[in-house]
Amino acid sequence: MWKDIYTAIDESYKEMVETRRYLHQYPEVSFQEEKTAKYIADTYEKLGIPYEANIGGNGVIARLKGGKPGRTIALRADFDALPIQEENDVPYKSKNDGAMHACGHDGHTAVLLTLAKVLVNYQDKIPGTVVFLHQHAEEYAPGGAKPILESGAIDDVDAVFGTHLWATTPLGTIETTKGAFMAGADRFEITIKGKGGHGAQPHLTKDALVIGSQLVTSLQQIVSRRLDPLKTAVVTVAQFESGTAFNVIADSAKLTGTVRTFDPEVQETIIKEMERITKSACILYEADYYFDYYKGYPPVINHAEEAALILDEAPEAEASLTTREIEPSMAGEDFAYYLQEKPGAFYFTGAKIEGHEYPHHHPKFDINERALPHAAKTLLQAYRSYQEKYSS
């Protein structure tokens, strides 16, 4: 049976691509995915698979109960887009100004919907229950995973698996870790309130731009000089807003950025050091400040046994696939919340387009669509492997 299902997935490649390209043309950013959610729900309606909509927001969850006893396993796909203007010159270019599927979530959704279309034809032979977990708002904290969990909609789930089409990983390669896989992702805002004035009279001002510039440099020294070198962390100042004219000294400056960590103690150290450095700089220049720190997604910590199932058995779905255990990524993912509550694992499916060197969240980002069946088959293999290992 499983071999027949894998063959059916391959035979559905064209439809999978069409679905992905349709979704790519009509992206909706986090928490605004009403039409996308309806498209997903309508698909399950047509398939006759029971589903619930508006889970934790715009989430959609469908369930296919197999004809044989087994565990209840969720397979997750996110479906929100990013506030980016697409720059690709392709027939399926985004038609929604200022929005783009620049991370592959259109592909994730196409994978899960196609998997559902295939599996419904084998329902009587499938063990357990497949939970098709379509999650909204992965890109922007507080995200969609947490409210879906809080809704109780997946309380009965025994395990959860998910994959991310990864545009920097070669096609045919599956990557994950048996432990920490992706970093916790936080956001910070520092506002400096100084005293503006004429560009020719700096001695009468408290130059917020200068203070902010020193902060940009000083904050980088937290990782290099305040943390154990064996601990991993990133502090990035990504936005610096200050000034209004060439001859006016700025009275305020705003620094916005992200912190990535795996260890809660490292996270707390960075928070304390950031505020200490900011406070010291402002005392030196007699300026005021506001320091706002927003704890985002926790780190993605795979369960070792479930990650091992992916690493050891993904090639069962397709012999040409290779797997490898990699160093953790500093990117963040709210799939972390599921793994705090349920056994499971998250992994990358290689989707690199050779010669198209644009990373995730870039206006020219794209994926190798040949990776779509790889993602579908490995998700199903994870489901199969878990059933065979843990079902009595």
Going along the chain from its start, the domains and CATH numbers come out as 2-182+299-390 (3.40.630.10), 184-297 (3.30.70.360)
**How much is the mean pLDDT over the chain?**
97
CB 288 within 8 A of CB 295: no
Catalytic residue selected from 33, 78, 80, 139: 80
Q: 366 burial class (0-12, 13-18, 19+ CB within 10 angstroms)?
A: buried
Q: Is the pLDDT of residue 392 over 70?
A: no
Annotated active-site residue 97? The verdict is: no
Give the pLDDT band (50/70/90) at residue 287: very high
pTM reported for the whole predicted model: 0.93
Which residues are CB-contacts of 9 (< 8 A; sequence separation ≥ 6)? 114, 115, 118, 373, 376, 377, 380
* Rounded mean pLDDT, 286-307: 97
pLDDT digits (tens, 9 = 90+) for 318-365: 999 999 999 999 999 999 999 999 999 999 999 999 999 899 999 999
* Rounded mean pLDDT, 25-48: 98
Q: Nearest 5 degrees, angle CA 205-CA 206-CA 207?
A: 100
Annotated active-site residue 334? The verdict is: no
pLDDT above 70 covers what percent of the chain?
Answer: 100
pLDDT digits (tens, 9 = 90+) for 216-238: 999 999 999 999 999 999 999 99
pLDDT at 391: 76
Catalytic residue selected from 28, 86, 106, 138: 138
